[in-house]
Amino acid sequence: MGMIDGGRIEAELDGFAARFSGPGGVVGVVSEGHVIARRAFGFADLDTHQAMTAATRLPICSVSKQFTCAAMLAACGAPEALDERLAARLPNFEGPLPTVRDLCNNQSGLRDYWALTVLHGAKAEQEFSREDAAKVYARTRTGHFAPGTRYSYSNGNFRLVAELVEEASGETLEALYARHIWQPAGMAGAVLTADTRRPEDGVVGYEGNDATGYMQAENGIYWRGDAGISASLDDMLAYECWIDAMREDPESLYRRIAVPQTFRDGAPAAYGFGLQHARVGDFAFTGHSGALRGFRAYRVASTEARLSVVVMFNHHGDAYGAAHRILRAALGLPHPVAQPLKERWSGRWISRETGLLARLESGYDAATLRFATSPETLWEAPEGGLASSSVTISRDGEDILMRRPSENHAERLVPVAAAPPAGSTEIAGRYHSAELDAGIVIECRDGGTYLWAEGFLGTGRPEIVLPAGPDLWIVATRRSMDAPAPGDWTLQARRDEAGRIAGLTLGCWLARGINYEKCG
């Protein structure tokens, strides 16, 4: 591919700590199988002044998913070998079960179990045991779409894969990781730290930002398969070098997990086996983000360009954006230059398929779409409308057309009428979901409306409920057991023949279409 622009990379790294400021972080670049840049900055622990180093092990969080899929292929040959074992993990599931390949490709339709912990009554910092995960699965009755037809990120997919692999192989996930990946790759320090209460090497994760200050993050969850690996920058760079060394071997584990996948209808999928597929410039890349409260990570690689970038923070910095700045610098690509919007795009629309509210807020040079897990930034597209790397928006009269190709999702959204004046107490009461075997309570008082969940994990904190339209509300969850939190939930009322509220439907992008019936 020609020479990497090493001078531009060094210039980016010289300004890295200031551009992505926070307590600490690490960044590294591999080109043609060699480490060409490697930096550590800041502190692993602010209170003790412990420096961040390239040997400090940090949680790589959901980057672990690709390791789980690779271990599954090494131990079992193919995901189809595990299909018959899945039903026992979902004993109350109604309708066609997803396949294990659907799990690996985030096409199962299973709602994300970390989002569901909010509706089972969990508080953000409480402990969540290995046994608790099985209880969430046991309550699962339906998915939020038919398996194989759509993409939706679901951490539980990979937790199920991990449990099935351990059951089938008779080995622990740690042993499979070590034998098939860590040892061959030379990842001498990599470990499975399933208990997030005990990070490796005394590293501390921080919530907050420069404006509010940084506070130590508190986690209590136990996870494995969907996340859980801790590794240093040196470990991750060794992994990238190993991928490059094995790039010509069609039987290498990375080549096998990086094969592009499809949906049931044959449409290409942008996600498969714990890897997101995308293009930067002229080259195809595979990568993945990771997030836990207090930590962010991203790694990305191209076997075509023979280029990899790894970024890890012990704060909530934009690891994805940081890695892509380095990629563009390495490839000699210009950084995007913002242009002012020619049209205003503010408004609210409802998705009939998902039941979710879409909100567009115009800025000077970009619009913010609030629909999926996190706010998405969209810019004006040359052909008109708005676009990002994952979604396009166009107008059709008062409606908008939303296309999300990587999720095999496209639909017309209709505008929502203005919200009624705040203060109505009609929604107040207690509701029960047969899907979750859990409840929610809505309280209206002193002009405010609040919702909390009650379930096998306890009684959750009250969340603010804001009117969004007729019989339509927004419930915001800003902190939860997983990070980032589910974000905004859409709450819709269902009325009986007499016009009274008989039930509610609650959903967010990670967990859609959950029905509740009013009690009493």
Q: How far apart, in whole angstroms, are the C-alpha atoms of residue 67 and residue 235?
A: 13
With 0.85 as the threshold, say if the pTM is over it.
yes
70: three-class secondary structure by DSSP: helix
Strand partners, 492: 472, 505
Cα of first residue to Cα of last residue in the chain, in angstroms, is 69
- 99: its two tokens: 């396949």
13-28: average pLDDT? 96
Contacts of 183 (CB under 8 A, 6+ apart): none
In terms of phi and psi (left: phi > 0; alpha: psi -120 to 50; beta: otherwise), the region of 385 is: left
Strand partners, 208: 214
By CB atoms closer than 10 A (0-12, 13-18, 19+), residue 33 is middle
- The pLDDT value recorded for residue 3 is 65
- DSSP symbol at 146: -
- The pLDDT of residue 2 is above 60: no
- DSSP symbol at 145: S
- The pLDDT value recorded for residue 1 is 46
| Listed residue (493, 519, 520, 487) closest to 506, CA to CA | 493
55: three-class secondary structure by DSSP: coil
Give the model's confidence band at 468: pLDDT under 50 very low, under 70 low, under 90 confident, else very high: very high
- Model pLDDT for residues 187-243, shown as the tens digit of each residue: 999 999 999 999 999 999 999 999 999 999 999 999 999 999 999 999 999 999 999
311-334: average pLDDT? 95
Q: Are strands 429-433 and 438-445 parallel, antiparallel or unpaired?
A: antiparallel
Contact 113, 500 (CB under 8 A): no
- 359: its two tokens: 């909100």
Q: How far apart, in whole angstroms, are the C-alpha atoms of residue 32 and residue 34?
A: 6
Contacts of 310 (CB under 8 A, 6+ apart): 26, 27, 28, 29, 233, 236, 237, 240, 297, 298, 299, 323
Q: Which amino acid is at 288?
A: H
By CB atoms closer than 10 A (0-12, 13-18, 19+), residue 288 is buried
66: three-class secondary structure by DSSP: helix
122-126: average pLDDT? 95
Contact 387, 379 (CB under 8 A): yes
What b/e string do you get for 388-406 counting C-beta neighbours within 10 Å, with b at 16 or more?
A: eebbbbeeeeeebebbbeb
Phi, psi of 51 (to 5 degrees): -75, 145
What are the helix (H) ranges across 140-229? 155-169, 173-177, 183-185
Q: What's the residue count for the chain?
A: 520
Contact 189, 55 (CB under 8 A): yes
Active site amino acids:
62, 65
By CB atoms closer than 10 A (0-12, 13-18, 19+), residue 168 is middle
Q: Which amino acid is at 108?
A: S
| Listed residue (77, 61, 89, 318) closest to 209, CA to CA | 318
What b/e string do you get for 469-487 counting C-beta neighbours within 10 Å, with b at 16 or more?
A: bebbbbbebeebbbbbbbb
- The pLDDT value recorded for residue 393 is 96
191: three-class secondary structure by DSSP: strand
Helix axes 6-14, 319-330, angle to 10 degrees: 150
Contact 152, 144 (CB under 8 A): yes
Phi, psi of 380 (to 5 degrees): -65, 135
Contact 182, 128 (CB under 8 A): no
Give the strands of the sheet with 24-31, arranged side by side. Answer: 50-51, 34-45, 24-31, 307-313, 295-302, 283-292, 275-280, 271-272
Return the minimum-mean-pLDDT range out of 158-167, 273-282, 375-384.
375-384
454-468: average pLDDT? 96
- The pLDDT value recorded for residue 344 is 87
What are the helix (H) ranges across 56-154? 64-76, 100-104, 113-119, 130-139
260-288: average pLDDT? 96
Contacts of 65 (CB under 8 A, 6+ apart): 158, 225, 226, 227, 274, 288
Q: Are strands 261-262 and 295-302 parallel, antiparallel or unpaired?
A: unpaired
Helix (H) or strand (E) holding 160: helix 155-169
- DSSP symbol at 149: S
- 34: its two tokens: 């060699």
- DSSP symbol at 91: T
Q: Which amino acid is at 448?
A: G
- The pLDDT of residue 325 is above 60: yes
Share of the chain above pLDDT 70, in %: 99
Q: Which amino acid is at 444?
A: C
- 406: its two tokens: 């990587």
- DSSP symbol at 185: H
Q: How does the average pLDDT of the chain come out, rounded?
A: 95
Give the model's confidence band at 422: pLDDT under 50 very low, under 70 low, under 90 confident, else very high: low
319: three-class secondary structure by DSSP: helix
